[in-house]
Amino acid sequence: MKGESNVLTVPTPQQEVGSVTQELATPGKVKPERKRAGRLSEDKRFKIFAGSANRKLAEDICTHVGVQLGESKLQRFADGEIYFQLLENVRGVDVFIVQPTCFPVDQHLVELLIMIDALKRASAGRITVVVPYYGYARQDRKDRPRVAISSKLVADLLTTAGANRALFMDLHAAQIQGFFNIPVDHMFASPVMVSYFRELNLPDLTVVSPDAGGVERARFFATKMQAPLAIVDKRRTDLNVTEVMNVIGDVQGRTCLIIDDIIDTAGTLVKTAHALLDAGAVKVYAAASHPVLSGPAIERISSSRLEEVIVTDSIPLREEAQKLERQGKIKVLSVAGLLGATIESIHMETSVSSLFS
């Protein structure tokens, strides 16, 4: 990207959304929620910007909301340093920045921090970071001596840079929300995936958690699908190295669906699938929110006995993964509508929890 600009353009709004009458709070009376704006494109106090991590997702979110990406310029100096400039007025504006911290994680994280700083110095009214994939989330505690809690560090960096609010999707550990001293909205891709699998109508379905840590996520999915739950007991021997021990639950003659949040090297996923098939499963599908797919992941999935791997567009697929998508081995579902609806709710101060239903 050296020397190249990433210019995102938005037409100047011409009219502001009608004012909302504020009622005084009275005992026993609940203040009604503000109604959603019919045309957010006319709201001068609402804008969406995006970094370079997943511009396609940002554009899809803007299509859902009914606006275009804010106008900005992103360049790099010869040594790789990031240069970012806002090309329109944001004074007093409710601004949302769409930027997953995916590969290369450090580059996209610093890019996000610089964007926040630029907005803060331009006197934005409120800055909400929309991070569909939260990098460094897997280091959320001291599970070994002398290790960092990097997910807390990233939280501090975002708030220190000037973020006033954060929107995440499928955090690796829900307690990461507690690392922030600003409001956090934590959304899940499960509504999108549940709709897909309901249409697929897999026979004799059993939902499977690939480890004990993901049981809550898999149990929620199993409840929505009205399917039984199984758990695969695994032991991690090193970073990105796991050894599957045994299957807890009856999967004999069943179609299994493995539910996880991240597919990184796909080692856990493939070993889990093989363990289920060895235990008598007929077919194995997999679903995960974030297709990190690093290292040997593509080769492992391609040569595995998995029927299909379903992911979301929280992270753009790499070129190698796009080949598997064309072959039907990987299926990408969009979460742009879900994130767009959440952004609308945050801006209009309506209930976000209602979106879970």
The answer to whether 234 is a known catalytic residue is: yes
Do 50 and 8 form a contact (C-beta atoms < 8 A)?
A: yes
* Residue 163 DSSP class: -
Do 61 and 336 form a contact (C-beta atoms < 8 A)?
A: yes
Do 271 and 297 form a contact (C-beta atoms < 8 A)?
A: no
- C-alpha 88/C-alpha 129 separation (Å) is 19
User: Which positions ≥6 away from 316 have C-beta within 8 Å?
Assistant: 53, 54, 56, 57, 102
Do 18 and 46 form a contact (C-beta atoms < 8 A)?
A: no
Q: Which residues are bridge partners to 128 per DSSP?
A: 96, 165
Tell me which of 47, 234, 271, 283 is the catalytic residue.
234
b (16+ CB within 10 A) / e for 212-239: eebbebbebbbebbebebbbbebeeeee
b (16+ CB within 10 A) / e for 6-28: eebebeebeeebeeeeeeeeeee
- C-alpha 218/C-alpha 207 separation (Å) is 7
* H/E run at residue 248: strand 241-248
User: What region does 204 belong to: left with phi over 0, alpha with psi -120 to 50, or beta?
Assistant: left
Count of residues making up the chain: 357
Active site positions, annotated: 234
